[in-house]
């Protein structure tokens, strides 16, 4: 066999091992996104809904990319992920912080878990009263959906600016890499005639939908294994989150593709439920009924040291 033929066979073999459901879903989401931009102006409501659905699913797909799908080749997944039509979060920043979040021993730590919503009690104690009220509201599901995206982005950007000024130049590089995809997206929006304000609103709402998933994924617990939730939802939200609501399964098997999680969970459900100490909710309907107007727990990490005067 010639070298050329061997290379072709090698490439075909690599392509055959791609995660094709994720490839197909990526293509489908991009098509829905494009259709939403190209709908006539009188279809603004439909366009907005399609954009929210596409942007939410694309964010969930981005989570798959950074965990090694669909190609099993990190540079290729990075090239795929650099385009973020949701605009607000650079792929490389999301990748670095999310992989750091997967250090399970640090889960919920106010400093070492980049995705923790808890504060050091000493920090909480020093905040002004108006911030207490704001963060109390943000700790209800209604508050998290309404303003969690804004609060999270302000905190995220401020933290990145401080870290970049402190010498972490890779943060600047990550944000610069986000610019070409952002420019391409904004050009497509303007060229399509879609209202830029409507598009930005869809980006915000899509991130707010994702806040439903992240709202109670983790809780403060003295055992690491008890910190991660299971929400047994197979409805529209479960699909939009690509089954990441089975969060214990994902944390235990982070490289498993989204469409395999339910089979793994069903096969050993009692194992996962026992492992996380029964931190299980039947559906997102349960989550809404229980936490829409009530805080999940305190903003200050309840297992840290007591605040001091």
- Whether 301 is in a domain gets the answer no
- Whether 299 is in a domain gets the answer no
CA distance 55 to 45: 15
Burial 17-52 (b: 16+ CB within 10 A, else e): eebeebeebbeebeebbeebbebeeeeeeebbebbb
- The sign of the torsion formed by the CA atoms of 264, 268, 272, 278 equals positive
- Whether 224 is in a domain gets the answer yes
Residue (of 104, 268, 301, 83) closest to 183 by Cα position: 83
- Whether 108 is in a domain gets the answer yes
Range of the domain at 92: 3-291
Number of Cα atoms under 13 Å in the Cβ half of residue 66: 21
- Whether 302 is in a domain gets the answer no
Contacts of 33 (CB under 8 A, 6+ apart): 50, 51, 54, 55, 58, 85
What tokens does 285 get? 């309907």
| Residue 135 Cα distances to 118, 141, 292, angstroms | 10, 12, 15
- Whether 229 is in a domain gets the answer yes
Q: What pTM value is reported for the model?
A: 0.92
- Whether 95 is in a domain gets the answer yes
Number of domains in the chain: 1
Instruction: Kindly tell me the number of DSSP H helices and DSSP E strands found in the chain.
Output: 15, 2
In contact, 189 and 37? CB cutoff 8 Å: yes
- Whether 303 is in a domain gets the answer no
User: Each residue's pLDDT tens digit in the chain (309 positions)?
Assistant: 566 655 655 554 456 678 999 999 999 999 999 999 999 988 999 999 999 999 999 999 999 999 999 999 999 999 999 999 999 999 999 999 999 999 999 999 999 999 999 999 999 999 999 999 999 999 999 999 999 999 999 999 999 999 999 999 999 999 999 999 999 999 999 999 999 999 999 999 999 999 999 999 999 999 999 999 999 999 999 999 999 999 999 999 999 999 999 999 999 999 999 999 999 999 999 999 999 999 988 999 999 864 443
């Amino acid at each position: 066999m010639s070298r050329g033929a061997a290379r072709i066979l090698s490439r075909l073999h690599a392509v055959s091992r791609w995660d094709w459901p994720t490839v197909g879903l990526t293509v489908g989401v991009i098509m829905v996104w494009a259709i939403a931009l190209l709908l006539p102006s009188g279809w603004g409501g439909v366009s907005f809904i399609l954009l929210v659905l596409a942007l939410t699913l694309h964010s969930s797909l981005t989570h798959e990319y950074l965990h090694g799908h669909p190609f099993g080749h990190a540079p290729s997944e990075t090239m795929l992920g650099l385009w973020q039509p949701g605009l607000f979060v650079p792929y490389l920043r999301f990748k670095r912080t999310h992989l750091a979040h997967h250090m399970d021993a640090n889960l919920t730590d106010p400093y070492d878990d980049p995705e923790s919503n808890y504060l050091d009690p000493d920090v909480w104690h020093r905040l002004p009263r108006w911030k207490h009220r704001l963060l109390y509201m943000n700790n209800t599901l209604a508050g998290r959906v309404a303003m969690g995206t804004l609060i999270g982005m302000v905190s995220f950007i401020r933290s990145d600016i401080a870290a970049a000024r402190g010498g972490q130049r890779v943060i600047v590089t990550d944000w610069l890499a986000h610019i070409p995809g952002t420019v391409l997206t904004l050009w497509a929006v303007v060229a399509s005639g879609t209202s830029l304000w409507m598009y930005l609103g869809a980006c915000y709402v899509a991130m707010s939908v994702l806040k439903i998933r992240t709202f109670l994924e983790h809780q403060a617990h003295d055992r690491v294994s008890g910190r991660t939730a299971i929400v047994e939802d197979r409805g529209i939200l479960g699909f939009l989150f690509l089954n990441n609501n089975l969060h214990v399964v994902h944390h235990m098997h982070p490289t498993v593709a989204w469409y395999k999680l339910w089979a793994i969970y069903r096969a050993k459900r009692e194992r996962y439920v026992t492992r996380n100490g029964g931190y299980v909710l039947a559906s997102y309907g349960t989550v809404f009924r229980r936490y829409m107007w009530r805080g999940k727990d305190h903003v200050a990490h309840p297992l840290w040291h007591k605040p001091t005067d």
